[in-house]
A and B are shown apart, each in its own frame.
Chain A
Amino acid sequence: MNKKTIVIDILRYRPEMDEKPFTQSFEVPYIEDTSILEALQYIKDHLDSTISFRWSCRMAICGSCGLMIDNIPKLGCKAFLRDYYPNKISLEPLANFPIERDLVVVMDDFMQKLESVKPYLIPGDNACMSSGEYQQTPLQMEKYKQFSMCINCGLCYAACPQYGLDNNFIGPAALALLARYDRDSRDAGSAQRMKILNQEEGVWGCTFVGYCSTVCPKKVDPAAAIQLLKVESSKDYLIGLFKPD
């Protein structure tokens, strides 16, 4: 019988009861292919039912279960006990977000950032349903495909030092999403989105640390998206010098 165990420290905070966050330790059975999420479920089912965390799909696509594991933003469903054993594991809510309760963070600001970048196709004059689908070659799709892979897990905001300093910065996921639509051959909304890019909180807030891309579980590479957008923003500035509105 397998009696190996591993210790997990969890940052707890229940706003109605606790004045400030505190750490609670749990000992769970060690099985190498158990994910951090499954360990949390074990804790909730068997050790302390009051602990709260978000989860759903268990397969790294719904984006619910982001948290800090040993101070690194990760998806709980895609990190495994085997990666830490025999050491103790520390779990905390995503950095740079306010804590709602336990491992649950307040997502309101993140959602507003996503909403602010006009993340939808802004069709040109020739858009017409009756003529069937738009033509878009694999090469044209390649220009934005990577940036369409974001699962909105928020890990990149937890990793972004700039967002941590000033949360007016639009941030990596939302800017990658902006790039996703801006670079889509079917979209004609660049001019409308340029205002968002050019503002102080837009691309120029980014100091290119690149940690957002390191932690991204879907290889979206928001840092690259932001660099590409900086080029667009510069071009727009230069054109504006010669051709003012």
Chain B
Amino acid sequence: MPHPSVRTLLPDAADAAAATARTAVLEVRGITKTFADFTALRDVSFTVGAGAITALLGANGAGKTTLIKVITGLVRQDSGDVLWPASGGSGADRPDSLFSYVPEESGLYERMRVEDIVTYFARLSGMETAAIRAEMPGWLERFKLHEKARQRVIQLSKGNQQKVKLVCALINKPPLLILDEPFTGLDGEGSLLLRDALEKLRAAGTTMLLSSHRLDQMDLLADHLVVIAAGQKILDTTLKDARKLYRQNQIEVTFSEPPPSLDGLPGVLEITWNDGIAELTLGPTASPNLILRALLDRGCQVENFLRHSPDLTEIFHKAYAHGGGGAPAGFTGKGEAI
């Protein structure tokens, strides 16, 4: 995968997915939820488009899990609606099998065999036995679990258990997959495997709503962002637009040979050096094309010319700052929860 900072310059799967996100699978309208004197959600609205990964982000206690529980019908909202446009249902009256939900750090029946537990959840989702028999081998193979089908859940690694949960959630091909903190408790390899699995699912057209603290992982996965702070939505846009929205007016230039003086470049207000990389701060009327031409005209050996693009951690922090939430609690600069 390319570094997130160059993502805007390269066509990728996310762009394609975003382009296909035409139809809304889920519409959340004006959800408010209060517990005693505490307002957990305040007039939250957003839409989950088909075929895309929507990241639901927020600091600890921002209201993400409560929002997911309202969407899944586990908690009843005080006001607002959860609509399923494709089916025409709403709230608790939704038809079955509109979504599959995997809660944060959820477990499985440890003594059940993998194939039995998948069959159980598939049948609860309304699948017939014949359909389950036809579908299960493919799903198990896709997640490299086919050789573990007869093993009991307790014998599996945590990463494989997470994959079993995904198979349980996906076998009935729900229009929407809701994952609450799917990366929690996974090590580096487990996270990589899960991310790979989710990317493949997106490529296959599965719509997902992901809540996570792992901004580094979400940066690589998300097409759309919904950021909430203190129960209120503060950002609702595509990741691409968020990068544009929060990018600093900077260009990073790497030279293969020490350049001559960079003074007087057109539209450049300030030049700072950082590990051999020149960071050019642009004025409001500066043109990257003119700057590049000026550098080449001066005989500079340009190795890399990059318009700075903020990563998700930066976007998140700025969204919190602009949204009045202040610095988000529970986040490090590396995009991981502490």
Question: Are A and B associated in one complex?
Answer: no
